[in-house]
Amino acid sequence: MAATAKPAIDLGHAEHTTDAAIRGLPGTMPRPIKVVLLGAGSGFTPRLCNDILRTPRHAGGEIALVDVDAARLEPMREIVARLAAKEAGPRWTVSADTDRARVLSGADYLICCIEVNGLSCVRHDNEIPMRYGVDQCIGDTVGPGGLFKGLRTIPPFLAILKDAERLCPQALVLNYTNPMSMMCLAAARSTALPVVGLCHSVQHTSSVLARRAGVALEEMEWECAGVNHIAWMTRLAHRGRDLYPRLMEQARAELAGAACAEWDTPDLVRKDMMLHFGAFITESSGHLSEYVPYYRKRKDLIARYCRPRYDGESAFYASNWPSWRAAHDAKRARMLAGEEAIGWERSHEYAAFIIEAREKGSPFTFHSSVLNTWQGGGPLIANLPHDGVVEVKTLVDRNGLQPLVHGRLPPQMAAICAANMAVYDLAAEAAIRRSTEAAIHALTLDPLTAACCSPAEIKAMALEMFEANAAVLPGYR
């Protein structure tokens, strides 16, 4: 049975409202704060900063932007400075630096959005596995692409945390960077700082399911737990009525060839997993198809279950990520030229609401990736590895983060999560110890890769990827 809390705002409902409906927590910020955003060239930065600046009754403080790419950092500093002037006046100052050590001192919150060697690696992270028969849609959180992104990204992340332990040991670290589970697990094994992983798949999925069930989101009752991108909606109800029979009926019809609703996507992988395993999963069908061994191992299965874009398109991320990055840069240029407005409604991203709840002492719940034995406590999900990272409902208030005990997942759902957690365990160790052997073992256990390749083929593929990444993977043995 899942544990429950009675916060002032229960994100079992409010975390999934539209941007315009989110109004902020009651109370007044008691002090100015310092927020450091790492990887400030990220597309997340404008909206995350906008959310912080639009926090009601804020005492203000400093937003410090950090990025190793000065050409991307300066435009972002100007955009955030304009936002601050527009939304908060003199209460906030905005600074920017390419050297994090010059700005970390005294930080209360670190928001991590770093991207390491993205443009130079995204193509071969996809093309090398494809030659071995491993077809990826996204390839940035699991599988060959996710593993090597983790190997590149975790060491710089741990270096940031090491500096933070010295310069701002009181800071709360909010991580948005993928591969989420690998990043948070490596951090949990390397630092005493509280590190929490934030994703928006839970918010989005609950909204999708409310629409499919034909109920108001704020009236839907639900529980969700698992690991990032494989969290299970273990309970869905409306006024005590189980919503799953209706959703199951819809899924059977659509998998048999019936059209889905005009506003919806086919989402066939998630619907099929729901029918066979008993609950809906929180990430898109394209992402999910990479976490399980069932849907991407043969061309006929890809044709049967996968659809365009995030619904399962082959090489979707690798083919589009460079153009998405260029589009973000072009949008920033239009903002700075006065051709596009700067400023938005407060979004449903968690970071600003976590900060607000912690500072005001007003309880707020959300879903986060944390160590299963958070700060030495008992397991949050009893039948998942106790030394792994899980995604559960989490309360935050003046006392900090308090992940809530979920209990046990149904065994078939836990087994899907545990299979991926074995990969994360070895991947985190590979990144911490710079171990080629541990990385190969991680990839050998990956469910999709193992469904497509023999161990010898997996080792050959991994070594080829190490060679392609040699310039950006220093120190691996």
User: Is the pLDDT reported for residue 9 higher than 50?
Assistant: no
Q: What is the pLDDT of residue 89?
A: 74
d(CA 189, CA 325): 32
Between 260 and 175, residue with greater pLDDT: 175
Q: What is the pLDDT of residue 58?
A: 87
Q: What is the pLDDT of residue 184?
A: 98
Sign of torsion over alpha carbons 464, 42, 155, 281 = negative
- The pLDDT tens digits for 380-396 are 999 999 999 999 999 99
Rounded to whole angstroms, what are the CA distances from 79 to 94, 142, 192, 326?
10, 33, 34, 17
Give percent of the chain with pLDDT exceeding 70.
Answer: 95
Rounded average pLDDT over 197-201 = 95
Q: What is the pLDDT of residue 18?
A: 33
CA angle, residues 42, 67, 174, in degrees to nearest 5: 60
CB 363 within 8 A of CB 397: yes
- The pLDDT tens digits for 26-55 are 888 889 999 999 999 988 899 999 999 999
Q: Hey, which bits of 398-443 come out as E strands?
A: 400-403
Q: Cis omega before residue 179 (within 30°)?
A: yes
435, two tokens: 């171990």
Q: What is the pLDDT of residue 23?
A: 53
Please classify residue 352 by burial: count the beta carbons closer than 10 Å to its beta carbon, then call 0-12 exposed, 13-18 middle and 19+ buried: buried
Q: Which residue, 274, 227, 278, is CA-closest to 383?
A: 227
SS3 of 249-271: HHHHHHHCCCCCCCCCCCCHHHH
Between 248 and 477, residue with greater pLDDT: 248
- The pLDDT tens digits for 352-378 are 999 999 999 999 999 999 999 998 898
Q: What is the pLDDT of residue 148?
A: 97
Q: Hey, which bits of 148-279 come out as E strands?
A: 172-175, 195-197, 220-227, 230-238, 241-242
Mean pLDDT (the chain, rounded): 92
394, two tokens: 């989490």
pTM, two decimal places: 0.93
Query: How many residues would you count in the chain?
Result: 477
d(CA 133, CA 10): 45
Q: End-to-end CA distance of the chain, in Å?
A: 45
User: Is the pLDDT reported for residue 136 higher than 70?
Assistant: yes
d(CA 80, CA 57): 19
405, two tokens: 């005990």
Q: Catalytic site residues? A: 200
CA angle, residues 259, 264, 267, in degrees to nearest 5: 80
Rounded average pLDDT over 416-433 = 98
Between 274 and 120, residue with greater pLDDT: 274
Q: What is the pLDDT of residue 6?
A: 30
- The pLDDT tens digits for 312-323 are 999 999 999 889
Give percent of the chain with pLDDT exceeding 90.
Answer: 83
Rounded to whole angstroms, what are the CA distances from 304 to 134, 255, 294, 298, 312?
17, 9, 11, 10, 11
- The pLDDT tens digits for 139-176 are 999 999 999 999 999 999 999 999 999 999 999 999 99
Q: Which residue, 58, 388, 351, 114, is CA-closest to 227?
A: 388
443, two tokens: 């990839």
User: Is the pLDDT reported for residue 111 higher than 70?
Assistant: yes
User: Is the pLDDT reported for residue 13 higher than 80?
Assistant: no
User: Is the pLDDT reported for residue 63 higher than 90?
Assistant: yes
**Who contacts 354 (Cβ-Cβ below 8 Å, separation ≥6)?**
172, 174, 196, 198, 364, 366, 396
Q: What is the pLDDT of residue 322?
A: 86
d(CA 447, CA 467): 23
d(CA 138, CA 287): 6
Rounded average pLDDT over 218-238 = 97
